[in-house]
Amino acid sequence: MKEGTRQLLEKAERAIQAADVLLGAAGAEFAAGRAYYAMFYIAEALLYDRDQTFSKHGALHAAYGKEFSKSGLLDPKFHRWLLNAFALRLQEDYDAETLVSTESVEEMLEQARTFLAAAQEFLSREEQPQPPTG
């Protein structure tokens, strides 16, 4: 695993921890943003490990979907979760009214933890030497 990949996964872990703190202290609307960014950093790490970097969220979402969901390398639910979290983050960042519930953010955080574990497992498998064929 590349050092940049490892750093992005660690950043995702910190974003999950921050979302937990925010959920308890400041409310669901701010925690939703950190939960989304945890998933964003995970997708970014997976793509970075394949020498793909992006400066726009939409480009990263599309590349992740193509590289990992459509290819079947990872469960497509992770791509759905990423897109849903992005939509919720936008809503909470730009709407004056808080619309997200604590329960929704708790679910997002569980999804982020599951996505992180799957990414770590995937990257560990990628590092393993492949047995000779034939």
Predicted pLDDT at 132: 60
Predicted pLDDT at 130: 58
Record the tokens describing residue 96, joined without a space: 């004056």
Query: Which residue in 107, 101, 103, 64 sits closest to 83, CA to CA?
Result: 64
Predicted pLDDT at 59: 96
Q: 30: burial class by Cβ within 10 Å (0-12, 13-18, 19+)?
A: buried
Map residue 134 onto helix, strand or coil: coil
pLDDT tens for 62-114 read: 999 999 999 999 999 999 999 999 998 888 767 667 677 888 889 999 999 99
> What per-residue string of b and e applies to 64-78 under the rule 16 or more CB within 10 Å gives b?
bbebbbeeeebeeeb
Predicted pLDDT at 45: 97
Could you say which of 1.20.120.330, 3.30.420.10, 2.60.40.1120, 2.60.40.10 is the CATH number of the domain covering 3-116?
A: 1.20.120.330
Record the tokens describing residue 98, joined without a space: 């808080």
Predicted pLDDT at 84: 94
Predicted pLDDT at 111: 97
Residue 42 · residue 12 · CB < 8 Å: yes
The domain segmentation of the chain, as residue ranges, is 3-116
